[in-house]
Amino acid sequence: MPDDSDPSRSGLPFQGRTIALVGLMGAGKSTVGRRLAEKLGRKFFDSDAEIEKAAGLSISDIFALHGEADFRRGEKQVLKRLLDLPPHVLATGGGAFIDAETRAVMKEKAVTVWLNADLETLWRRVQKRNNRPLLKRADAKAHLSNLVSEREPFYSQADLNVQSKDGPHTNTVNSILKSLQTWTPT
């Protein structure tokens, strides 16, 4: 039986494109993205890490010292640069795909994959780290819940929608690979 998730199967349209993961904080974009890249033998980039490198500051410090608007400007620039690189796997910050211009460039240059998870899963995961300025507030869970509602109409514009469940990351990686095989350029 041929293995449906075998990334070495050649000639599929997604192979010429960057695979960009979008979705909320805690969806697993970075962890899953890194493993997906390994499996495909591609480079992996994380837009947040690239922004931090360019600014010489952590995301929290960028928000604290320069504000969210400045962070968003940097995010837009960094993503445009990354999307011009040869096909790779790209984990994007949760707000990136909400910006109309960034979304259009991502849709043009990448296969976009919404890593979708329910609120309880997202909340459980984001609590493990304290590095997300948007969640440093007393009503963090309610805010995350608002972000889920506000952002879903944008994330749902991604080319593919893959559920990010708890359990081994390889399950999510394999779901993405399976879904990628159905993708055709529009």
- Residues within the interface to ligand S3P (CB under 6 A): 25, 29, 48, 59, 93-95, 132-134
For residue 135, report the phi and psi dihedrals to the nearest 5 degrees: -110, 10
29 contacts: CB under 8 Å, gap ≥ 6: 21, 22, 23, 46, 91, 92, 115
Q: Could you tell me the smallest distance in angstroms from the CB atom of residue 95 to ligand S3P?
A: 3
Residue number with CB closer to ligand S3P (5 or 99): 99
Q: Count other C-beta atoms under 10 Å from residue 156's C-beta.
A: 10
Q: Could you tell me the smallest distance in angstroms from the CB atom of residue 9 to ligand S3P?
A: 30
Residue number with CB closer to ligand S3P (59 or 83): 59
Q: Are 93 and 49 in contact (CB under 8 A)?
A: no
Residue number with CB closer to ligand S3P (35 or 132): 132
Q: Could you tell me the smallest distance in angstroms from the CB atom of residue 134 to ligand S3P?
A: 5
Dihedral in degrees, nearest 10, Cα atoms 41, 118, 103, 54: -60
Q: Could you tell me the smallest distance in angstroms from the CB atom of residue 94 to ligand S3P?
A: 2
Q: Could you tell me the smallest distance in angstroms from the CB atom of residue 88 to ligand S3P?
A: 17
Taking only Cα atoms into account, the Rg of the chain, rounded to an integer number of angstroms, comes to: 16
Residue number with CB closer to ligand S3P (87 or 133): 133
Residue number with CB closer to ligand S3P (117 or 160): 117
Q: Count other C-beta atoms under 10 Å from residue 8's C-beta.
A: 8
Residue 91's beta-bridge partner residues? Answer: 21, 46
